[in-house]
Structure 1
Amino acid sequence: MAMYMKFVQSLCILLAMMIAVTVGLLNGHFAMWFAQAAIMNSTSSRIRRIGGNGELSDIGEDELIEQQMMQWVEYMGTRNHSASQVANKVFMPFSFLVVDTNGGNGHFTSIQQAVDSLEVLSARRVIILINPGTYREKLKIPWNKPYITLQGTGATSLCVIEWDDTADKVASDGQRLGTFNTATVTIDAPYFVARNLTFKNTASPPTSGSRNKQASAVRVSGDASTFVGCQFLGSQDTLYDHKGRHFFQDCYIEGSVDFIFGDGLSLYRNSHLHAVSANYEALTAQSRSSPLEQSGFSFVNCKVTGSGLLYLGRAWGTFSRVVYAYTYMDNIIVPEGWNDWGDSNRERTVYYAEYKCYGPGANPQGRVAWSHQLSDQEAQPFLGLNFVDGYEWIGL
């Protein structure tokens, strides 16, 4: 009986701890979620709105969606939208490892060997210095190895990590890889940093009408990840910006179909986006599927060039969100600018916007009516590190 009572007592303590952690992680968002759920509670095109004093009134669905969009713009400026708890700035390196593919001047000959050698759940940053060379390996940074920096020691173009998986390849278990598992480099750990590296998927570009040829160079699923001076090379689905807060500075991203895609909350700054398309394709496919998700892509001081005809984005998710600011756009951008993915209903729920962009592809006159040209005030939340809570965790 005593043992049983101890077991029940331990179970209660564990349950209390789980509840406490859950409440902490929610970080005050219950109120916002509950309010939005109440607003969305409707069985017709007329929706019951809760006023500031608790009164109820009718509101049209279109008006509600527009209000929610503008509330989100204001909300993004409050810095209360962390995708996770406040990050800790841990930038001082604790140790260094060196990787050399030729084996002459390093501790390891592959990057994966160096990652595998690290202790799990460490809170100390380790910098892995990568000597120039082509590292043909499928690299994975697991969730339990945070605070890793991969640092190329030469020019970005000289430090290359490459592989050639596509979505239609069959894995050892007999199942197709699917897009999720095609990445040359997969980052599941938080607080990851990469500098001066080229990430490449060497699979051949898909031919017209081909299917299941998605081939990612990188999938980043870890929160608070930073990429500086890196190249991402591929064709279809080059950069899988899967989830979490991410920051890309001075990067070059090349591809053809949806070559930046996913559900991340990400800021791309001073980066070059280059299309290698032959037909009508899209640069981004942001997959936000719910008004409760805190995700979206912001491109600031970037450059869009290349070949083919390119949409700035298409609505993979019903509530997809993408903003371009101070960005040069070459004449490859189609006049409409944006694509609803064949679902006109998404035109009422996506948030696609531009602010002070320039170049032959940036003419606002031909843009679809459901996109936005932002005012100074509306654009402000998307322009700086606050968009990704960057002052909490980005250390450059």
Structure 2
Amino acid sequence: MSPKSLCFTVLVAVFSVLASRVVINPTPQVLKYVVDFGLTISSSPSIVAMFIPFDFDDLRRHHKNPDKGKPVSVCEDFPPNFPPPETNTTLTLCVDRNGCCNFTTVQAAVDAVPNLSIKRTVIWINSGIYYEKVIVPKTKPNITFQGQGYTSTAIAWNDTALSANGTFFSGSVQVFSTNFIAKNISFMNVAPIPHPGDVGAQAVAIRIAGDQAAFWGCGFFGAQDTLHDDRGRHYFKDCYIQGSIDFIFGNGKSLYEGCQLLSMANPVAPGSKSINGAVTAHGRASADENSGFAFVNCSVGGTGRIWLGRAWRPFSRVVFALTSMTDIIAPEGWNDFNDPTRDQSIFYGEYNCTGAGANMSGRAAYVQRLNDTQASVFLNTSYIDGDQWLLSYDT
């Protein structure tokens, strides 16, 4: 068995165990599971992966009839007459690992989308883990990835900056097209969890490098550099984002609304002043760039002692508004990348946040406590010109 096949087999086995032992709570924050297991695969190091409890009960039902004990077709319960026929506005393609519809891999479905199509192509992805690297090129605009729930459908891969010849190329999924939408699906990078300072261990779950992208009810799982919000205008609604170091980074102009941000940095001893994580690393390089991250009505929790952001580039811009924060946030809140010359050019603001981590009395001098007028720019989809392009969830 090849290393990738073995890794996938273990993924399925561990998800099965988790699903059999865990009652899924609708609160995403309880869905963090860190499973550390060692495998000897030639000279490969131990595999350390983050998992969420996938519902395998449905998969088991497909393989056995509980009443008669007779095997049945894995496709017996598959929706009839699916996918629906193509219309003037929409093409639907179907992905199922068991071969119950058009494609067995997500990349094969993406490849089948007509180039430069003005139609919305919905790629409906059945429950399961799709262990593959997926690239959506510029020539494939207007694509929707429709999963069956972010605890039921996932695309996973295990590249790192070292294996992919750069952090930017390590993404399990890389989106370069415009008007991309994802609903109810998870993006995972299951590479080994790095220690702070490890070289070449950055491992991106998804890179979004196209304009006008929207994510509804999605999960993003990794450790260092989980979500590469690279460039363009993006919207994240009711998403779950997990990581440890700079786990939301890039130079996008993005609104995160109602999202749960969970640090999985190692716990620190009470009273320790050491820092072992950061939520954001925004990459705005000049005052002329119209970019920045805005987090509204979100929550920040988990483990470690972390910053809300650090200034990856000298004009880094991030705002947290109406967001709850636990005490894992260090009192200074932010970091200028240890370069005081950036203090006059970065824009880090907070507005009416709550929780033990939102106490601004010890914040770094360059952090701004925004008033109503200053904050209003960042509080809704007008920040990303959503009235011009953002579709409703049901579209």
Shorter-chain TM-score category?
0.7 to 0.9
Q: Does 1:97 align with 2:93?
A: yes
What is the match of residue 120 of structure 1?
115
What is the match of residue 162 of structure 1?
156
Q: Does 1:110 align with 2:105?
A: yes
Structure-2 change in CA distance of 1:92 and 1:162 (3 Å): farther
- 202, 207, 218: which one pairs with 2:190? 202
- Structure 1: tracts of 5 or more residues without a match: 1-90, 170-175
TM-score by length of 1: 0.74
What amino acid does structure 2 have at the position aligned with 1:157?
T
What is the match of residue 166 of structure 2?
178
Cα RMSD for the two superposed structures: 1.2
Structure-2 change in CA distance of 1:350 and 1:232 (3 Å): same
- 378, 383, 392: which one pairs with 1:382? 378
- The answer to whether the 8 A contact 1:147-1:191 is kept is yes
Structure 2 counterpart SS, 1:114: helix
Structure-2 change in CA distance of 1:209 and 1:118 (3 Å): closer
What amino acid does structure 2 have at the position aligned with 1:155?
G
- The answer to whether the 8 A contact 1:93-1:127 is kept is no
Using the alignment, how far apart are the partners of 2:325 and 2:103 within structure 1? 43
Max Rg structure: 1
Using the alignment, how far apart are the partners of 1:207 and 1:266 within structure 2? 28
Structure 1 counterpart SS, 2:388: helix
- 232, 240, 244: which one pairs with 2:232? 244
Higher relative contact order, chain-length normalized (CA < 8 Å, sep 6+) = 1
TM-score by length of 2: 0.74
- The answer to whether the 8 A contact 2:212-2:233 is kept is yes
What is the match of residue 273 of structure 1?
261
What is the match of residue 79 of structure 2?
none
Matches within 5 A, 1:1-396: 93-103=89-99, 105-152=100-147, 154-169=148-163, 177-278=165-266, 279-396=275-392
Q: CA deviation at 1:208?
A: 4.7
- Where does structure 1 differ by over 3 angstroms across 4 or more consecutive aligned residues? none
Q: CA deviation at 1:164?
A: 0.1
Q: CA deviation at 1:184?
A: 0.2
Structure 1 counterpart SS, 2:210: coil
Structure 1 counterpart SS, 2:214: strand
Structure-2 change in CA distance of 1:208 and 1:347 (3 Å): closer
Structure-2 change in CA distance of 1:381 and 1:124 (3 Å): same
CA deviations over 1:209-231 (Å, ceiling 9, x no partner): 42110000000000000000000
Q: CA deviation at 1:93?
A: 4.7
CA deviations over 1:119-162 (Å, ceiling 9, x no partner): 1111110111101011011000000100000101x222110100
Q: CA deviation at 1:204?
A: 1.0
Q: Which has the higher helix share?
A: 1
Structure 2 counterpart SS, 1:258: strand
Using the alignment, how far apart are the partners of 1:314 and 1:209 within structure 2? 15
Size of the alignment, in residue pairs?
298
After superposing the two structures, state which structure 1 stretch, 382-391 or 273-282, moved more: 273-282
Structure 2 counterpart SS, 1:392: helix
